[in-house]
Amino acid sequence: MKFKVLGSGAGIPSRTRNTQSFVLDVVEEINQYFLIDTSEALQHRILDTTIRPSKIRHVFITHLHGDHILGLPGFLSSRSHQGGEGIPLIVYGPPGLEEWIETTFRTSGTHLNYAIQFVEVGNGDVFDIEGFKVSVQLLDHAIDSFLYVFEEPDKPGALKSDKLREMGIKPGPIYKQIKSSKTFEHEGIIYNTCDYVSAPTAGRKVAVHGDTRVIRHKDYLDMLEGSDLIVHEATYLHGEQEKAHLYYHSEINDVLFNLSQISYGQLLFSHISNRYDAEMVRLVEEQLPSGIKLAHDFIEITIPRDSQ
């Protein structure tokens, strides 16, 4: 599982930062990509990667500000001609998204050659996507903006074949039968399967924020607890906490302090304003503790199992 940054900027694109688009690469797990936010130039960014649009089956929109959605109509339209024919797509997002896309397609005469479904999201929604649990939480922004938390299912433990061999049970279809039932019988004795299977591996958890003020309530922090990767905005990189609050955004040190109350694996700050020059960004990066990074376009973060 990997997290790829296609756009790390805030508000307005710069030469080095596109506005917000991310990809959660779950190709190894379920052979597809989750696309999160769809800024302008998303298509061009994708062309500079090995990502195939046909493998994007689920899109998650955090909120309807232009720097997060203006690339969606173009992406959806091009996908028809980039191997996406007949491969359905589901778009999750706030109310109003479907209406905007329908209007854009109607007025521009755009037709798709695959089925598209829009799912309106709201606070507290939970979706099951091919075994992944996706939870939605309302954030605190000038318009409704959402956090998406992606949780991979736990991986069942492996059969302890050494132990079974010692008992005289040789490998074969019987192993599959043992694994799929709670108990098994051998030479007239009933055994509990759990004693012959190693502990399951915990699934990974990735939390991706839309634009937001720092949120301090317990339910929100509980939702983030134990994340392997948290992606949070840091529109303000240095001081100006009051200004960040006024404009419904976050200041980096305030986020760090807030998240210090929970345990997590890695933290990635994105939505970086182009008011900060490269030198300033470098200075901030130098001071970040290990496991905490500032996003740049095209960086990729590997999310190992048991990263905490």
Interface residues with Zn ion (CB under 5 A) are 65, 67, 211
Query: Is 81 one of the annotated binding-site residues?
Result: no
- Residue type (1 letter), 66: G
Backbone angles phi, psi at 91, to 5 degrees: -115, 120
Backbone angles phi, psi at 159, to 5 degrees: -70, 135
Query: Is 217 one of the annotated binding-site residues?
Result: no
> How far, rounded to the nearest angstrom, does the alpha carbon of residue 21 sit from its chain's CA centroid?
11
Query: Is 63 one of the annotated binding-site residues?
Result: yes
Closest CA to 71 of 28, 150, 9, 129: 9
> How far, rounded to the nearest angstrom, does the alpha carbon of residue 179 sit from its chain's CA centroid?
32
Among the listed residues 67, 228, 254, 297, the single catalytic one is 67
Beta strands in 74-168 (DSSP E): 89-93, 116-120, 126-129, 132-138, 146-151
Query: Is 186 one of the annotated binding-site residues?
Result: no
Question: In the bound complex, what is the minimum distance in angstroms from residue 20's beta carbon to Zn ion?
Answer: 6
Nearer CB in complex with Zn ion: 266/270: 270
Nearer CB in complex with Zn ion: 211/297: 211
Question: In the bound complex, what is the minimum distance in angstroms from residue 10's beta carbon to Zn ion?
Answer: 5
Question: Is 91 in contact with 97 (CB distance < 8 Å)?
Answer: yes
Query: Is 68 one of the annotated binding-site residues?
Result: yes
Q: Tell me which DSSP letter residue 80 carries.
A: T
Question: Is 110 in contact with 182 (CB distance < 8 Å)?
Answer: no
Question: In the bound complex, what is the minimum distance in angstroms from residue 8's beta carbon to Zn ion?
Answer: 11
Question: Is 22 in contact with 208 (CB distance < 8 Å)?
Answer: yes
Question: In the bound complex, what is the minimum distance in angstroms from residue 104's beta carbon to Zn ion?
Answer: 20
Nearer CB in complex with Zn ion: 67/144: 67
- Catalytic, 195? Answer no
Nearer CB in complex with Zn ion: 45/65: 65
Return the active site residues.
Answer: 67
Residues of each annotated binding site for Zn(2+)? 63, 65, 67-68, 141, 211, 271
